[in-house]
């Protein structure tokens, strides 16, 4: 598939909101985990990378946000920041502008509490109809489309840890087939008791977190200036049970590198923040790098810096890499390899080349 | 670029399991609607749904362990197995890495969500069984089908609500057309559940009794479930193995209303139809049949009819809603529409709109193929899918 250009990004994360804050967080290397409690609820964790101060209403105003679930608020704010960072003018006609958003289960809180109410209400069907659209997995993408007038492709990719890379691949296809000129693509995850229990139940390592990262994408050949980054290639596959997950990932990564015409020796950063799976473990990563012939690559501890969640962490990790590029022109042209796998078996990889912003783009 | 053909159908629906039973259900205008048994309906004012009742997935599945997967994943996997069998495709004919899976859904594992909610209401979070967490992620729908078929190509779940199967089929079509895969097993899956039934009730969207799309007195939809999977193959691959396709995928289009989460927008839907025609190289007067979104709610059907009238300049071909028979299977709905359209094209008949009694004066021009299947030469079919979030997706199919 064709090369994607990233022309801006927006993040909601404990690691920071602006590119400068995110780059600072990478440099400082501090964990953002803090003590967490929830009224009247048992949590499976004493610490979390959560954003108790985040409020969609405070960020976006009252209008249209009254029924937002938390995931929707995080996603819409990240979209807004990405649009601003890219200087994107959607205007009145958004027919050629779309959104591809990654998720795991949508808002677990919105759907599960809706289900729970049918067991506590009398009669049981007395749920709130205004909250019903929050229970579907594409609720956030629909609200973002309304907010910003995105009338083109509007896809929600339920991929968990693989959602970001699947969304990038899906986006590349949209451009290659001429279906849009600009896409917002990214992934989101909320922190609630539901998501914390889900994270623990999936065997996730590290404290759970929340956040969203959204990237503004265009076909690389359509761009008149240097982008923030290029997604040179993506590859995806599936590893059936009983087969070796690291081998399947290595196969994906090799295909992506080949398609990008990038040698393994050029890979300077390996991003593998998909903590709901064994691949996040350093041993698996070491084995993967050995199979590929990647040597001396850097790793960002995205889970520690920004919190752990199936779909948001890999997206925030890409934003951290791009923020570092923006802050350090010496890194211009460096290659990062992104890999991800889901407990259910999906595997994916992407090759990214990052740039700082020249004087013309501030 | 490769042409793309539909060679296998794997419907698991309230009107029949497998392509032969499904076709006979469509032809006879069979109703799959019955009182709900998958949850306790005490206290619910309306209790009908299109449940898949007489289906034992272990009789179809070869690899997947039913106990370890949620109901929607099992629908996807069993539908995939049925579709591959229907296509006469054996595993040694295709290279595993050239076979991809793309599945659409509205709510993913809705029954697991229901179980989570029940346990939470009864005993708090610590009472939630561990398998609920393991089985909840929605990417498991596509994974279940990939796992069942032991294929290693891309495996992706698209969750664009009730147009999700068309989104999935569109991406599947592109994967083959662009040479990324030889075979894609694609469609959708969803499960009837207590909380979505409650939600639609509270939206005032559920039918009083029968679901009667495009009828003057239509009163709403009926929730349903199932797996609607299809096998798509490249022309080269079909030729090489000498298979006979049901239909060709001509193209598709997607767009978003971006106006309202639940109320559809006729102008935006008409735009999606025009895009679908343009992307498929067909003119409106080429279209012989429209498999409607047709939920049976007053708002959907009026909006859909208005969009059709605008797009076709008043000369609208026959339009039927198979939801009158199956109910609204959510993310699987447009997959069932694609299967019905493929059968219409290959077998030469129009599936009916069941329960239709009175012409709606607001759409007096509309031919809903009332109550009885009709023999017809169908060369081009249009399969509509619309959704919460303003997500429209339309797939165009052609006769082979």
The interface predicted TM-score of the complex, written ipTM, equals 0.98
pLDDT in tens, A299-346: 998 999 999 999 999 999 999 999 999 999 999 999 999 999 999 999
Each of the 400 residues of chain B gets a pLDDT tens digit; together they read 899 999 999 999 999 999 999 999 999 999 999 999 999 999 999 999 999 998 999 999 999 999 999 999 999 999 999 999 999 998 789 999 999 999 999 999 999 999 999 999 999 999 999 999 999 999 999 999 999 999 999 999 999 999 999 999 999 999 999 999 999 999 999 999 999 999 999 999 999 989 999 999 999 999 999 999 999 999 999 999 999 999 999 999 999 999 999 999 999 999 999 999 999 999 999 999 999 999 999 999 999 999 999 999 999 999 999 999 999 999 999 999 999 999 999 999 999 999 999 999 999 999 999 999 999 999 999 999 999 999 999 999 999 9
pLDDT at A278 over 80: no
pLDDT in tens, A162-213: 999 999 999 999 999 999 999 999 999 999 999 999 999 998 889 999 999 9
pLDDT at A276 over 50: no
Interface touch A115/B194, C-beta < 8 Å: yes
Using a CB–CB cutoff of 8 Å, tell me whether B242 touches chain A: no
Predicted local confidence at residue A282, as pLDDT: 66
Predicted local confidence at residue A274, as pLDDT: 63
Nearest neighbour of B261 by CB, restricted to A143, A236, A345: A143
- The chain B residue lying nearest A123, using CA atoms, is B43
pLDDT at A136 over 90: yes
Q: How many CB atoms lie within 10 A of CB B40?
A: 12
Q: Phi first, then psi: what are they for B297, rounded to 5°? A: -80, 145
Core vs surface per residue B292-323: b (16+ CB within 10 A) or e: bbbbbbbebbbbbbbbbbbbbeeebbbbbbbb
Q: β-strands B380-385, B289-291: how paired?
A: parallel
Residues on chain A touching B193 (C-beta within 8 angstroms): 115
Mutation choice for A interface testing from B100, B154, B172 by most A CBs within 10 A: B154
pLDDT at A362 over 70: no
- Percent of chain A whose predicted confidence (pLDDT) is above 70: 96
Q: β-strands B48-49, B99-104: how paired?
A: unpaired
Predicted local confidence at residue A273, as pLDDT: 74
Nearest neighbour of B143 by CB, restricted to A179, A197, A346: A346
Predicted local confidence at residue A283, as pLDDT: 72
Predicted local confidence at residue B1, as pLDDT: 85
Predicted local confidence at residue A360, as pLDDT: 58
Nearest neighbour of A136 by CB, restricted to B44, B106, B147: B106
Core vs surface per residue A224-246: b (16+ CB within 10 A) or e: eebbbbbbbbbbbbbbbeeeebb
Mutation choice for A interface testing from B156, B163, B186 by most A CBs within 10 A: B156
Nearest neighbour of B258 by CB, restricted to A112, A145, A177: A145
Contact status, residue A257 vs residue A337, Cβ threshold 8 Å: yes
Interface touch B128/A197, C-beta < 8 Å: yes
Report the alpha-carbon distance of residue A77 to residue A213 in Å, rounded.
10
Instruction: Respond yes or no on whether the N-terminal peptide bond of residue A123 is cis (omega within 30° of 0).
Output: yes
Q: How many CB atoms lie within 10 A of CB A349?
A: 31
Interface touch A106/B128, C-beta < 8 Å: no
Interface touch B156/A154, C-beta < 8 Å: no
Interface touch B160/A138, C-beta < 8 Å: yes
Interface touch B255/A153, C-beta < 8 Å: yes
Nearest neighbour of A116 by CB, restricted to B117, B161, B262: B117
- The chain B residue lying nearest A141, using CA atoms, is B389
Contact status, residue B145 vs residue B77, Cβ threshold 8 Å: yes
pLDDT in tens, A83-122: 999 999 998 889 999 999 999 999 999 999 999 999 999 9
Question: Catalytic residue positions of B?
Answer: 162, 293, 328
Using a CB–CB cutoff of 8 Å, tell me whether B148 touches chain A: no
pLDDT at A280 over 60: no
Note which residues in 265-284 of chain B have CB less than 8 A from chain A.
268, 271
Q: Number of residue pairs across A and B with CB atoms under 8 Å?
A: 284
β-bridge partners, B221: B206
Q: What is the rounded average pLDDT of the residues A225-246?
A: 96
Q: Name the 3-class secondary structure at B297.
A: coil
CA distance A330 to chain B (A): 36
Residues on chain B touching A202 (C-beta within 8 angstroms): 133-134, 137
CA distance B47 to chain A (A): 11
Question: Is the model's pTM score more than 0.90?
Answer: yes
- The chain B residue lying nearest A92, using CA atoms, is B258
Predicted local confidence at residue B358, as pLDDT: 98
Core vs surface per residue A198-220: b (16+ CB within 10 A) or e: bbbbbebebbbbbbbbbbbbbbb
């Amino acid at each position: 598939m064709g090369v994607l250009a990233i022309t801006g990004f927006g993040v909601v994360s404990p690691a920071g909101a602006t590119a400068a804050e995110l780059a600072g967080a990478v440099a400082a290397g501090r964990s953002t985990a803090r003590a967490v409690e929830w009224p009247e609820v048992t949590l499976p964790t004493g610490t979390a990378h959560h954003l108790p101060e985040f409020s969609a209403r405070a960020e976006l105003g009252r209008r249209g946000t009254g029924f937002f679930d938390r995931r929707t608020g995080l996603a819409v704010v990240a979209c807004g920041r990405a649009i601003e960072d890219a200087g994107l003018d959607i205007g009145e006609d958004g027919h050629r502008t779309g959104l591809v958003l990654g998720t795991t289960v949508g808002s677990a809180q919105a759907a599960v509490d809706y289900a729970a109410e049918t067991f506590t209400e009398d009669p049981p069907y007395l749920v709130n109809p205004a909250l019903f659209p929050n229970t579907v997995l594409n609720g956030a993408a629909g609200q973002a489309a309304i907010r910003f007038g995105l009338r083109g492709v509007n896809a929600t990719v339920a991929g968990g840890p693989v959602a970001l890379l699947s969304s990038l691949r899906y986006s590349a296809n949209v451009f290659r087939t001429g279906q849009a000129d600009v896409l917002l693509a990214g992934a989101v995850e909320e922190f609630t008791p539901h998501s914390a229990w889900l994270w623990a139940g999936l065997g996730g390592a590290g404290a759970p977190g929340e956040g969203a990262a959204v990237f503004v994408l265009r076909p690389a050949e359509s761009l008149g200036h240097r982008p923030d980054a290029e997604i040179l290639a993506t590859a995806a596959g599936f590893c059936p049970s009983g087969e070796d997950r690291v081998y399947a990932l290595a196969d994906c990564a090799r295909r992506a590198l080949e398609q990008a015409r990038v040698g393994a020796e050029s890979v300077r950063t390996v991003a593998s923040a998909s903590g709901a799976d064994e691949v996040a473990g350093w041993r698996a990563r070491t084995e993967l790098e050995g199979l590929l012939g990647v040597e001396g690559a850097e790793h960002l501890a995205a889970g520690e810096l920004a919190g752990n969640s199936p779909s948001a962490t890999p997206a925030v990790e890409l934003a951290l890499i791009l923020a570092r590029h923006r802050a350090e022109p010496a890194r211009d042209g460096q290659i990062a390899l992104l890999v991800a796998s889901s407990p259910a078996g999906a595997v994916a990889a992407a090759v990214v080349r990052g740039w700082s912003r020249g004087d013309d783009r501030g | 670029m490769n042409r793309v053909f539909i060679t296998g159908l794997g419907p698991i629906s309230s009107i029949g399991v497998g392509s032969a039973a499904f076709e006979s259900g469509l032809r006879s205008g069979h109703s799959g609607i019955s009182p709900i048994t998958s949850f306790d309906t005490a206290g619910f004012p309306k209790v009908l749904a299109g449940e898949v009742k007489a289906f034992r997935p272990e009789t179809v599945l070869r690899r997947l362990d039913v106990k370890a997967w949620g109901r929607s994943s099992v629908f996807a996997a069993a539908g995939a197995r049925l579709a591959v069998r229907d296509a006469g495709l054996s595993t040694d004919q295709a290279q595993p890495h050239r076979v991809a899976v793309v599945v659409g859904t509205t709510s993913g594992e809705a029954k697991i969500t229901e179980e989570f909610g029940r346990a939470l209401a009864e005993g708090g979070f610590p009472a939630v069984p561990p398998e609920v967490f393991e089985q909840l992620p929605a990417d498991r729908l596509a994974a279940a089908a990939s796992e069942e078929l032991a294929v290693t190509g891309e495996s992706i779940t698209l969750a664009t609500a009730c147009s999700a199967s068309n989104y999935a089929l569109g991406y599947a079509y592109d994967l083959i057309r662009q040479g990324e895969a030889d075979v894609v097993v694609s469609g959708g899956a969803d499960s009837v559940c207590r909380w979505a039934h409650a939600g639609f009730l509270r939206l005032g969207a559920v039918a009083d009794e029968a679901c009667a799309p495009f009828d003057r007195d239509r009163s709403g939809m009926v929730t349903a479930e199932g797996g609607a999977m299809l096998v798509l193959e490249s022309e080269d691959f079909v030729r090489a193995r000498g298979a006979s396709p049901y239909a060709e995928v001509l193209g598709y289009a997607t767009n978003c209303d971006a106006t309202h989460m639940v109320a559809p927008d006729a102008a935006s839907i008409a735009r999606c139809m025009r895009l679908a025609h343009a992307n498929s190289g067909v003119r409106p007067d080429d279209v012989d049949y429209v498999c409607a979104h047709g939920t049976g709610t007053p708002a959907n059907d009026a909006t859909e009819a208005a969009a059709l009238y605008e797009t076709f300049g008043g000369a609208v071909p026959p339009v039927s809603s198979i939801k009158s028979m199956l109910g609204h299977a959510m993310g699987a709905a447009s997959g069932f529409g694609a299967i019905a359209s493929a059968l219409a094209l290959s077998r030469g008949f129009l599936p009916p709109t069941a329960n239709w009694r009175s012409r709606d004066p607001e759409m007096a021009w509309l031919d809903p193929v009332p109550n009885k299947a009709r023999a017809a030469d169908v060369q081009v079919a249009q399969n509509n899918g619309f959704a919460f979030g303003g997500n429209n997706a339309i797939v165009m199919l052609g006769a082979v």
